[in-house]
Amino acid sequence: MKRKRGEQGSAAVAFSLATFLVIFTIVTVYLFLAKPAWGWFPPSITEFGKQIDAQFHRTLVITGIVFVVAQLGLALVIFRSRDHGQKASFFEGNSTMEFIWTLATVIMFVGLGLYGEHAWAEAHFQGAAPGALQLEVTGQQFAWNFRYAGPDGKFGGTKPELVSASTGNPLGLDPRDPASKDDVVSPVAYVPMGHEVELLIRTQDVTHSFYVRELRLKQDAVPGMTIHMHFNATVPGEYELACAELCGLGHYRMRSFVNVVSQDEFDKWIRDQETALQQQ
């Protein structure tokens, strides 16, 4: 009696659940293969970014295979082993199979991880190339400021008590320090195309995060620290910088732009800024 009740509806449920898993798998795989324009990486503008993309794709292939095998395997076993009056087979395990899939996942997952360390090492273990443009990025609730060292190549001193965004000194530059006199401070960044840029990332108040999608770079700005990153952008354009670490009520609108321009345009821009400074 009991068995009969189990059989009824078992096929229908098994079929619908298996079918759902198959459809779900197909849709998911399709979307990741289709790379929908609305939900995908914008093109990378650095060679480094292309490495990140390549590692992402390697990971996508490996996880994609495991995903398909596991979901379809689940669908298959649900349908195949549904209750149709058969007796369940009895086995409590299989050491050989355990060993094989353990070894396979170790090789796949750890191998993948090792492969990806390369790009990370390039971002963080190597310093910026010699002659890099020094660009200080400072986050504060809820704005970004960029500082260039000026002709003397030195960032001037700053003092917390001099910080006053309202009177035009958002970084608290110390006017008594001669090195600070030629420092160019700008709410948007300009960088020369094809030239190495070294970022010095700081914050004045809480943790923020420097994130430019096209650079494939993200780095928290941490109170009390100055953190170095570097990049070399090769495609001109205006790229949006969005804060990526919760920093308070204005987090969602804490953005700026990084403009990648030709060397000539950059030279002109920075000269104009310096001239403006001298006229103050």
Partner 1 sequence: MVTHEGGGHHHPPSGFIRKYIFSLDHKVIGLQYYFLALFSVFLGMALSMLMRIHLVWPNAKMPFTPGGQMTPEQYLALVTMHGSIMVFMVLTTAPQSGFGNYMLPIQIGAEDMAFPVLNMLSFWTTFVSLVVLVSAFFVTGGAPISGWTAYPTLSALGEIAGPGQGAGQNLWIIGVAIFCIGSLLGALNFITTTVDLRAKGMTLGRMPLTVWAWLVTAILGLLAFGVLLAACLLLLLDRVAGTSFFIPGGLVVTDTPIVSHTGGSPLLWQHLFWFFGHPEVYIAILPGMGVASHVLSTFSRKPVFGYKAMVGALGAIGFLGFCVWGHHMFISGMSPYSAFAFSLLTMTIGVPSAIKTFNWLGTLWGGRIQFTTAMMFGLGFVSLFVTGGLSGLFLAQPSIDLYLHDTYFVVAHFHLIMGVAAIFGIFAATYFWFPKMFGRMLNETIGKAHFWLTFVGVYSIFMPMHFLGLAGHPRRYADTTGVNFLAPLHPVHYFITIAAMITITAQLIFLFNFFYSMKVGQKAAENPWNATTLEWSIPSPPPFDNFAGHIPVVYRGPYEFSVPGATDDYIPQYLAPERVGKAH
Site for partner 1 in 179-238 (CB under 8 A): 204-207, 209, 211, 213, 216-220, 222-225, 227
Among residues 47, 101, 127, 176, the one that binds partner 1 under rule CB under 8 A: 101
Q: Is 19 in the site for partner 1 (CB under 8 A)?
A: no
Q: Is 26 in the site for partner 1 (CB under 8 A)?
A: no
- Please give the radius of gyration of the chain, using alpha carbons only, rounded to the nearest integer: 28
Which residue type, as a one-letter code, is found at position 237? G
- Nearer to partner 1 (CB atom), residue 172 or residue 236: 172
| Edge-to-edge strand list for the sheet holding 184-186 | 184-186, 143-148, 133-140, 197-203, 227-231
Q: Is 246 in the site for partner 1 (CB under 8 A)?
A: yes
Size of the site for partner 1 (CB under 8 A): 107
Q: Which residues contact 125 (CB under 8 A, 6 or more apart)?
A: none
- Looking at the DSSP bridge assignments, the partners of residue 260 are 191, 237
**Minimum gap (Å) between residue 205 Cβ and partner 1:** 4
Q: Is 33 in the site for partner 1 (CB under 8 A)?
A: no
CA 35 to chain centre: 17
- Nearer to partner 1 (CB atom), residue 131 or residue 168: 168
Among residues 33, 96, 249, 278, the one that binds partner 1 under rule CB under 8 A: 249
Binding span for partner 1 by CB under 8 A among 73-81, 127-135, 177-185, 259-267: 73-81
Q: Is 259 in the site for partner 1 (CB under 8 A)?
A: no
Q: Is 36 in the site for partner 1 (CB under 8 A)?
A: yes
| Pair 218, 209: CB distance under 8 Å | yes
Q: Cβ–Cβ contacts within 10 Å for residue 236, how many?
A: 15
CA distance 258 to 268: 16
**Minimum gap (Å) between residue 75 Cβ and partner 1:** 9
Q: Is 168 in the site for partner 1 (CB under 8 A)?
A: no
DSSP letter at 84 equals S
**Minimum gap (Å) between residue 2 Cβ and partner 1:** 8
CA distance 126 to 48: 12
**Minimum gap (Å) between residue 137 Cβ and partner 1:** 13
SS (H, E, C) 108-168: HHHHHHHHHHHHHHHHHCCCCCCCCEEEEEEEECCEEEEEECCCCCCCCCECHHHCEHHHC
Q: Which of residues 132-151 bind partner 1 (CB under 8 A)?
A: 140-141
**Minimum gap (Å) between residue 185 Cβ and partner 1:** 15
**Minimum gap (Å) between residue 190 Cβ and partner 1:** 18
Selection from 192, 201, 196 nearest residue 241 by Cα: 201
**Minimum gap (Å) between residue 130 Cβ and partner 1:** 20
Among residues 19, 26, 31, 153, the one that binds partner 1 under rule CB under 8 A: 31
Q: Is 15 in the site for partner 1 (CB under 8 A)?
A: no
Which residue type, as a one-letter code, is found at position 250? G
